């Protein structure tokens, strides 16, 4: 690992701790708060990108410099210069209003969602003012003393000062597939980094104290490739929405060019035609779509926060609503996070405190942050008094055991603790005794107790780090049995998820017998439990079949959890995974929606899309409901855009070629567009029918196309009926034509939301007052504009009463037809 710069500071692993301290101008006792603040100002935040929150000014400029806005602005100025003061002024004014409207809408919701996201940002443990405390990872500075434990993501490049049984997984950084040992001491050569930690790697086992050398973008790898990297492949929903926007944008461009060319060829005024074409483009482009989805998703995120779900990746809200299977680990979600020590048994199965005492010594001196070790310590609080740690082999999820070398009243003792079958394999005992011991474990499991086996060996010889080879010829000491009863709310929450079309599966590392019993208690199918060993023998295809009919899995290794997730995905499910451990991280990454809980290990939180503030399935069920609701509201916009709005602009383009005069003036089109946008403001607040959130909601492009293919032409048919009536029946003048059509077009575009917003009859599911207000106010403004002096600036005239009556009738008939055709348009296609 040599570096191009050659700057010695960049190869901090070649320095001694003292030399590095000197270079960083700090000591080995950690920083005081004031010094840390000064360093934060000097070195910057410990992150890769500047804060993503965009200022209002920037947001406005970004919108102003979009091509259409620019053309409009230029056109407006030209109009003013060539004598059309009012027309030009109106264009600039409307442009200002639209940009302001967008900025305010987007700014608030998006900023609020971003702040929420940050509230669950990763923490790092640093020594400040003499004591270890948790701070935001972004506030770590060079010179900080870090404490890093299994499951943490390493917050900064750092030099190890002390470590016990510490390994780090650097696969994402270096490609090295296995966790590597890290310990203090001088580097063996320029490429030896066994004394260095790199930001973004994952602490796999053990614990270490290290001196932060470099942070943020100064780190060797940056975070691009690391476990911190947040870039995720866009979901199908993301991708389709973008594609949908692009298709419309292309169609718009083509249409506008055709209109412009034809009009210019026919000798119509160029500036007028250009303005008309641009206004048309403004009306047509779903320029609002990305903004609207972001705003709606952000608002969804805010509502979900109110229900204890913090969203880290906005598009995951849709994925949560689409989820069909939720996989979860056991402890902390189905059972309470605080398990308790229920029994301590000797090797013969008799009550005896020794096993618990040895277990507590091991847990206190060299345990992890898991619930088992916490329960052991709580069960036997002062067991470790008089014992000191001499060496350690950290708990490992694939071996399912760990050991501690300790010296105390009994001399030097190696204590091994882990899953019974793993520990018993290392003990000196005959097969009969081993079978009897396993039978006892099974007996305990049927009583609802999960057990951990304790074994020991006298340690002869010198003190040194424990190797796995040392864990042989052990004496079986006995069992610690833990009560881990299901949460009282679990069964009801599972039933609620099931009625919402979400199947639950338990993916646990615990004993299949324990898992089976729990599955039965919470109402899952407990007939068949697959174990890690069963799965190892199945091909991917066979597994994809078996996972469908199995609800409970036990003794899974971490990579088997993700294998099951992938098998479910392969059989067409949208899979969520809920977990909090370092052993859950691969599955969290593989799942469509990763859910973790506040206080979970760093890797689990980093891999998750959402963080639950309370580890409870009820919270997931609430989140799913919000997710589906948010998706249903986004669909309303998309449907609106795909039906009336698009249809109207299309008719306008055709009319502009066919008619000898402009069917609508550019300023009128812009006003039309502004009012339409205004009417949609209330959509994110809208209610959603129970029916729309009852089942998983999967985004389907083909269903949208079907919808547009029916509702779009319907709208155009009525536009042409309107044109016909105005020209033939009412012999309208150009000004009357434009005014009447403006009214018709506004009324149909705005009112159709009340039909589209629900799959059932409109009167069955009443809109939210905010939506009614935004729609009706926009409509009212459009209706009275022609009758006011301001209307005259836009070129409106007061249409004769008979013409108004005719228009009203057409609007009513259109709405009735839309309601009648709706079932056809929204009927689920063949795709489901
Ligand atoms: N700290 C520990 N000390 C000893 N044994 C442990 C420890 N942690 C886990 N084990 C053993 O490893 C097994 C798997 O770990 P664990 O139960 O935490 O996996 P999991 O998949 O997270 O399970 P759960 O579904 O209960 O959360 C446990 O059943 C236990 O036998
Ligand atoms: Mg767990």
Q: Using one digit for the tens of pLDDT, what is the confidence trace for 93-122?
A: 888 887 887 777 777 777 888 888 888 888
- Indicate if ligand 1 lies below 6 Å from the C-beta of 510: yes
Model confidence pLDDT, tens digit, residues 121-140: 889 999 999 999 999 999 99
In terms of C-beta density within 10 A (0-12 exposed, 13-18 middle, 19 or more buried), how is residue 693 classed?
Answer: buried
Looking at 183, 218, 253, which one is the last position of a domain? 218
Q: Are residues 146 and 75 part of one domain?
A: no
How far, in Å, CA of 479 to CA of 348, rounded?
A: 10
Q: Are residues 72 and 39 part of one domain?
A: no
pLDDT over threshold 90, residue 234: no
Q: What is the pLDDT of residue 806?
A: 94
Q: What is the pLDDT of residue 223?
A: 64
Protein residue with its CA nearest to atom 30 in ligand 1: 419
Which residues lie below 8 Å from residue 771, measured CB to CB, with a gap of 6+? 682, 683, 685, 686, 753, 757
Contact by Cβ (8 Å): 322, 343: no
Compute, in angstroms, the gap from residue 330 CA to the centroid of ligand 2: 6
Compute, in angstroms, the gap from residue 169 CA to the centroid of ligand 1: 20
- Residue listed under structure tokens 């998706």: 631
Q: Lowest mean pLDDT of 2-6, 294-298, 744-748, name the range.
A: 2-6
Q: What is the pLDDT of residue 104?
A: 78
Q: What is the pLDDT of residue 399?
A: 87
In terms of C-beta density within 10 A (0-12 exposed, 13-18 middle, 19 or more buried), how is residue 832 classed?
Answer: exposed
Whether 609 maps to a domain, the answer reads no
Reported as a pLDDT band with limits 50, 70 and 90, residue 231 is: low
Q: Is 329 a catalytic residue?
A: yes
Interface predicted TM-score (ipTM) of this complex, two decimals: 0.95
Which residues lie below 8 Å from residue 117, measured CB to CB, with a gap of 6+? 301, 310, 311, 312
CATH assignment at residue 293? 1.20.1110.10
In terms of C-beta density within 10 A (0-12 exposed, 13-18 middle, 19 or more buried), how is residue 624 classed?
Answer: buried
182 φ, ψ to 5°? -130, 130
CATH assignment at residue 403? 3.40.1110.10
Q: Are residues 127 and 101 part of one domain?
A: no
Residue in 666, 614, 72, 101 with CA at minimum distance from that of residue 332: 614
The region, left, alpha or beta by phi > 0 then psi within -120 to 50, assigned to residue 333 is alpha
Q: Are residues 794 and 748 part of one domain?
A: yes
> Looking at per-residue confidence, does 626 or 70 come out higher?
626
Given ligand 1 and candidates 394, 419, 553, which is best to mutate, with the most ligand atoms within 8 Å of its CB? Answer: 419
Whether 568 maps to a domain, the answer reads no
Q: Are residues 686 and 645 part of one domain?
A: yes
- Indicate if ligand 1 lies below 6 Å from the C-beta of 505: no
Distances (CA, A) of 706 to 641, 710, 829: 14, 6, 8
Compute, in angstroms, the gap from residue 417 CA to the centroid of ligand 1: 11
Q: What is the mean pLDDT of residues 320-330?
A: 94
508 token code pair: 């646990």
Contact by Cβ (8 Å): 525, 346: no
Collapsed DSSP state (helix, strand, coil) of residue 345:
strand
> Looking at per-residue confidence, does 233 or 504 come out higher?
504
pLDDT over threshold 80, residue 172: no
Whether 516 maps to a domain, the answer reads no
412-416-421 Cα angle (round to 5): 155
Q: Give CA 63 to chain center in angstroms.
A: 27
Whether 583 maps to a domain, the answer reads no
How far, in Å, CA of 227 to CA of 275, rounded?
A: 51
Q: Are residues 782 and 675 part of one domain?
A: yes
- Indicate if ligand 1 lies below 6 Å from the C-beta of 372: yes
Contact by Cβ (8 Å): 157, 142: no
Q: What is the pLDDT of residue 341?
A: 94
Given ligand 1 and candidates 372, 395, 454, which is best to mutate, with the most ligand atoms within 8 Å of its CB? Answer: 372
Edge-to-edge strand list for the sheet holding 475-483 = 340-346, 475-483, 449-458, 411-418, 401-408, 388-396
CATH assignment at residue 43? 2.70.150.10
Q: What is the pLDDT of residue 621?
A: 94
Looking at 436, 460, 483, which one is the last position of a domain? 483
Name the average pLDDT for the chain: 87
Model confidence pLDDT, tens digit, residues 783-796: 999 999 988 888 89
Q: Lowest mean pLDDT of 143-157, 311-325, 660-674, name the range.
A: 660-674
Q: Lowest mean pLDDT of 67-71, 205-209, 421-425, 742-746, name the range.
A: 67-71
Contact by Cβ (8 Å): 39, 142: yes
Q: Are residues 430 and 455 part of one domain?
A: yes
Q: Are residues 33 and 75 part of one domain?
A: no
Collapsed DSSP state (helix, strand, coil) of residue 481:
strand
Q: What is the mean pLDDT of residues 62-89?
A: 76
DSSP string, 608-666: -SEEESS--HHHHHHHHHHHHHHHHHHHHHHHHIIIIIHHHHHHHHHHHHHSSS-SS-H
Q: Are residues 800 and 700 part of one domain?
A: yes
What one-character DSSP code corresponds to residue 729? Answer: I
Q: What is the mean pLDDT of residues 699-722?
A: 86
pLDDT over threshold 80, residue 830: no
Whether 597 maps to a domain, the answer reads no
- Indicate if ligand 1 lies below 6 Å from the C-beta of 509: yes
Whether 79 maps to a domain, the answer reads yes
pLDDT over threshold 70, residue 285: no
- 401: β partners: 396, 418
Distances (CA, A) of 132 to 129, 144, 145: 8, 11, 9
Q: Are residues 291 and 352 part of one domain?
A: no
Long-range contacts of the stretch 180-186 (C-beta < 8 A, 24+): 182/208, 184/17, 184/160, 186/16
The region, left, alpha or beta by phi > 0 then psi within -120 to 50, assigned to residue 828 is beta
> Looking at per-residue confidence, does 18 or 85 come out higher?
18
pLDDT over threshold 60, residue 5: no
Q: What is the pLDDT of residue 230?
A: 58
Reported as a pLDDT band with limits 50, 70 and 90, residue 9 is: low
Whether 698 maps to a domain, the answer reads yes
Contact by Cβ (8 Å): 700, 831: yes
pLDDT over threshold 70, residue 829: no
Protein residue with its CA nearest to atom 12 in ligand 1: 400
Q: Are residues 407 and 283 part of one domain?
A: no
Compute, in angstroms, the gap from residue 567 CA to the centroid of ligand 2: 21
Contact by Cβ (8 Å): 31, 144: yes
Whether 135 maps to a domain, the answer reads yes
Looking at 451, 483, 515, which one is the last position of a domain? 483
Protein residue with its CA nearest to atom 8 in ligand 1: 372
427 φ, ψ to 5°? -90, 150
Structural domain span for residue 429? 341-483
Q: Are residues 128 and 109 part of one domain?
A: no
Number of domains in the chain: 3
The whole-model pTM stands at 0.85
649 token code pair: 């602009």
Compute, in angstroms, the gap from residue 390 CA to the centroid of ligand 1: 24
Q: What is the mean pLDDT of residues 588-599?
A: 92
Model confidence pLDDT, tens digit, residues 491-511: 999 999 999 999 999 999 999
Q: What is the pLDDT of residue 8?
A: 38
Residue % of the chain over a pLDDT of 90: 47
pLDDT over threshold 60, residue 583: yes
* Given the residues 144, 152, 319, 329, the one annotated as active site: 329
Compute, in angstroms, the gap from residue 290 CA to the centroid of ligand 2: 38
Q: What is the pLDDT of residue 290?
A: 65
Protein residue with its CA nearest to atom 29 in ligand 1: 510
Q: What is the pLDDT of residue 622?
A: 92
Q: What is the mean pLDDT of residues 333-337?
A: 84
Reported as a pLDDT band with limits 50, 70 and 90, residue 4 is: very low
- Indicate if ligand 1 lies below 6 Å from the C-beta of 417: yes
Residue % of the chain over a pLDDT of 70: 95
Q: What is the mean pLDDT of residues 83-87?
A: 77
- Residue listed under structure tokens 């199947």: 503
Reported as a pLDDT band with limits 50, 70 and 90, residue 232 is: low
Reported as a pLDDT band with limits 50, 70 and 90, residue 225 is: low
pLDDT over threshold 90, residue 293: no
pLDDT over threshold 70, residue 413: yes
């Amino acid at each position: 690992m040599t570096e191009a710069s050659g700057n010695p500071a960049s190869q901090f692993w070649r320095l001694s701790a003292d030399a590095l301290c000197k270079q960083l101008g700090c000591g080995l006792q950690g920083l005081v708060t004031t010094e840390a603040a000064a360093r934060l100002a000097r070195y910057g935040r410990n992150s890769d990108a500047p804060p993503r929150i965009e200022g209002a000014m920037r947001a406005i400029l970004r919108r102003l410099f979009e091509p259409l806005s620019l053309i409009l602005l230029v056109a407006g100025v030209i109009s003013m210069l060539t004598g059309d003061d009012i027309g030009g002024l109106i264009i600039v004014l409307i442009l200002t209003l639209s940009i302001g409207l967008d900025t305010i809408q987007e700014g608030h919701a998006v900023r609020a969602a971003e702040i929420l996201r940050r509230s669950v940002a990763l923490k790092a443990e640093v020594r400040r003012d003499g004591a270890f405390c948790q701070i935001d990872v972004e506030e770590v500075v060079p010179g900080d003393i870090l404490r890093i434990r299994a499951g943490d993501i390493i917050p900064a490049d750092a030099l190890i000062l002390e470590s016990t049984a510490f390994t780090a997984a650097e696969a994402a950084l270096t490609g090295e597939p296995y966790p590597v040992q890290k310990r203090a001491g001088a580097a063996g050569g320029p490429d030896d980094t066994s004394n260095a930690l790199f930001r973004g790697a994952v602490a796999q086992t053990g614990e270490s104290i290290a001196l932060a050398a470099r942070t943020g973008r100064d780190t060797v790898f940056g975070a691009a490739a690391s476990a911190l990297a947040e870039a995720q492949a866009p979901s199908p929903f993301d991708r389709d929405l973008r594609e949908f926007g692009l298709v419309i944008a292309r169609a718009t461009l083509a249409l506008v060019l055709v209109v412009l060319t034809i009009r210019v060829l026919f000798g119509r005024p160029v500036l007028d035609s250009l303005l008309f074409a641009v206004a048309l483009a403004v009306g047509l482009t779903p320029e609002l779509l990305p903004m609207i989805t972001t705003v709606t998703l952000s608002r969804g995120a805010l509502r979900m926060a109110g229900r204890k779900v913090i969203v880290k990746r906005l598009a995951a809200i849709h994925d949560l609503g689409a989820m069909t299977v939720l996989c979860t680990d056991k402890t902390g979600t189905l059972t309470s996070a605080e398990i308790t020590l229920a029994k301590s048994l000797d090797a013969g199965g008799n009550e005896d405190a020794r096993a618990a005492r040895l277990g507590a010594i091991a847990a206190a001196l060299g345990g992890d942050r898991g619930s088992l070790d916490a329960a052991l310590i709580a069960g036997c609080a002062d067991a470790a008094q008089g014992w000191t740690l001499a060496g350690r082999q950290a708990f490992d999820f694939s071996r399912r055991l760990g050991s501690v070398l300790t010296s105390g009243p009994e001399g030097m003792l190696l204590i091994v603790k882990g899953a019974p079958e793993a520990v018993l394999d290392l003990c000196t005992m005959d097969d009969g005794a081993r079978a009897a011991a396993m039978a006892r474990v099974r007996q305990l499991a049927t009583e609802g107790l999960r057990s951990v086996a304790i074994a020991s060996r006298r340690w002869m010889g010198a003190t040194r780090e424990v190797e796995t080879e040392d864990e042989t010829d052990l004496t079986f000491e006995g069992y610690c049995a833990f009560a881990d009863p299901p949460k009282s709310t679990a069964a009801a929450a599972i039933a609620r998820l099931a009625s919402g079309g979400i199947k639950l599966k338990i993916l646990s590392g615990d004993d299949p017998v324990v898992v089976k019993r729990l599955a039965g208690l919470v109402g899952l199918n407990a007939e068949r439990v697959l174990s890690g060993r069963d799965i190892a023998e199945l091909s991917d295809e066979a597994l994809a079949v078996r996972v469908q009919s199995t609800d409970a899995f036990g003794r899974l290794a971490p990579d088997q959890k993700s294998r099951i997730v992938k098998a479910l995905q392969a059989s067409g499910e949208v899979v969520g995974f809920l977990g909090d451990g370092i052993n859950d991280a691969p599955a969290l990454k593989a799942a469509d929606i990763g859910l973790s809980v506040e206080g979970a290990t760093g890797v689990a939180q980093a891999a998750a899309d959402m963080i639950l503030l309370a580890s409870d399935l009820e919270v997931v069920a609430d989140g799913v409901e919000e997710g589906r609701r948010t998706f249903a509201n986004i669909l309303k916009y998309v449907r609106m855009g795909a039906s009336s709005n698009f249809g109207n602009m299309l008719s306008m383009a055709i009319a502009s070629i066919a008619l000898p005069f402009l069917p609508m003036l550019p300023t009128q089109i812009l006003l039309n567009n502004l009012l339409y946008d205004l009417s949609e403001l209330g959509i994110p607040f809208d209610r959603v029918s129970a029916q729309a959130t009852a089942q998983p909601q999967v985004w389907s492009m083909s269903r949208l196309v079907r919808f547009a293919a029916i509702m779009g032409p319907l709208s155009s048919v009525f536009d042409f009926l309107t044109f016909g009536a105005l020209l033939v029946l009412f012999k309208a003048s150009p000004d009357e034509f434009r005014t009447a059509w403006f009214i018709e077009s506004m009324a149909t575009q705005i009112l159709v939301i009340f039909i589209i917003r629900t799959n059932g009859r409109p009167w069955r599911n009443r809109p939210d007052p905010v939506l009614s207000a935004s729609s009706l106010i926009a409509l009212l403004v459009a209706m009275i504009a022609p009758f006011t002096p301001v209307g005259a600036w836009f070129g409106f005239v007061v249409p004769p009463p008979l013409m108004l009556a005719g228009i009203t009738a057409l609007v009513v008939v259109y709405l009735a037809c839309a309601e009648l055709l709706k079932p056809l348009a929204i009927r689920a296609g063949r795709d489901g």
